Amino acid sequence: MSMPLPAVLRRPAWLTTLAMGFVILWLIIAAFPFAWTVWGSFKVQTDFFSRDSWWNAITGPMTTRTTGGPFTTDGYYGAWVTTEFWRAALNTLIVTVCVTSISLSFGTLGGYALARSTHRYRFWILVAALFFRAMPEVTLVSGYLFPFFALNIWGHLPTAIIVLVALNQPFTLWMMYSFFQGIPRDLDESALVDGCNRFQAFRLAIMPVMWPGVITTGLFSFLLAYNDFTVTGLVLSKDNQTMVPKIASYLGTIQDEGAIMFAVAAVVSITIPIFLLVMFFQRYLVSGLTAGAVKG
């Protein structure tokens, strides 16, 4: 490898420079909006949305004038305390933890069965799941609301949780199915030969090696529940709102002076967990995104 590359294989300098410039430009496009919003969330509205100069959002003259310093946490105080964003955050925590754990349990069992079955209905379940995955959630929600009102279960957290679990199933099933396809059959079949039943074989032979697949799938299940607006926005009552519908509700009151900064602070707050997730699980996320693609 230490041999110099032949001239034809070497990249011209201009190409590397051009690529470098393009990558840096993309980095700015991808990251700048977040940096700008985080910075602006510590200003007052008249600075972040300044009619005079965008420079005000950086230096914050009005923030200094009204609050005594160039940075203020008024937006965060207003969101988390005054408008009780903490309640929405708590609801989001409950919903995401429940949805992720339940859909992983369901999906792992189902995915394993699909990967090990050779019957024809397996094929139809997988194709149907793919079609279900393609249907926009809101079309299904329009089917739920009426029965939910009739059964008087509309508005509660468990209702949203079970709906999100169900909507999560097609994706979870496919992910876990293709993961289990990659685990050699010999592993659980030898356990069956040794006298285990299916559940024992699953528990003793498969469970110890399935965690990378479970983590990857779990991350995407978490994101689906965390990012959802369609179900949580339409199925939950005002008292049980999670973070995303709560942020949407700020938009209606945007005319009030300062209320928009509550929304900005809430937006920054809801982004932080996603940042941490990407930071700690980047490898899993990338492998999950490419898993479906590479297989086909």
Partner 1 sequence: MPHSSFFRFMAPSLIAMLLFIALPTVSIFVQSLYVEHPQVLIETETCQPLGGCVKETTVDVAATAKLRSEAPLGQFNGLGTYVDRNHLAINSVGLLWSRSGSLGEFVSGMMNLRFYRALAFTLFYCFLVTPLAMALGFGIALAVNVVPRLMKGPVIFFSLVPMLITPLVGALILFWMLNSDGILGVALQVLFNDPGLSTQSSAPLTWIMLIVYGTWTNAPFSFIVFYAGLQAVSRDTLEAAMIDGASRWERVRYVVLPSLKPLVLFVLLVQLMDNFRVFEPIISFNASANATSLAFDIYASLNTQTSQLFGSAAATSVITIAFIAVLIVPILARVARELQAGRV
Tell me the two tokens of residue 235: 């199925």
Whichever of 94 and 141 has its CB closer to partner 1, that residue is 141
Q: How far is the CB of 211 from partner 1 (least distance, A)?
A: 19
Q: How far is the CB of 32 from partner 1 (least distance, A)?
A: 9
Q: What is the per-residue burial (b if ≥16 Cβ within 10 Å, else e) of 177-188? A: bbbbeebeeeeb
Q: How far is the CB of 81 from partner 1 (least distance, A)?
A: 21
Q: How far is the CB of 77 from partner 1 (least distance, A)?
A: 20
DSSP tag of 4: P
Query: What length is written for the chain?
Result: 296
> Which ranges of 41-79 would DSSP assign to H, the alpha helix?
45-48, 56-59, 61-67, 74-77
Q: How far is the CB of 150 from partner 1 (least distance, A)?
A: 7
Whichever of 68 and 131 has its CB closer to partner 1, that residue is 131
Q: Is 155 helix (H, G, I), strand (E, B) or coil?
A: strand
Which residues, listed in sequence order, are joined to residue 155 by a DSSP beta bridge? 236
Whichever of 68 and 119 has its CB closer to partner 1, that residue is 119
Q: Is 166 exposed, middle or buried (0-12, 13-18, 19+ CB in 10 A)?
A: middle
Whichever of 72 and 168 has its CB closer to partner 1, that residue is 168
- Cα angle: 26, vertex 217, 115; to 5 degrees: 130
Whichever of 90 and 127 has its CB closer to partner 1, that residue is 127
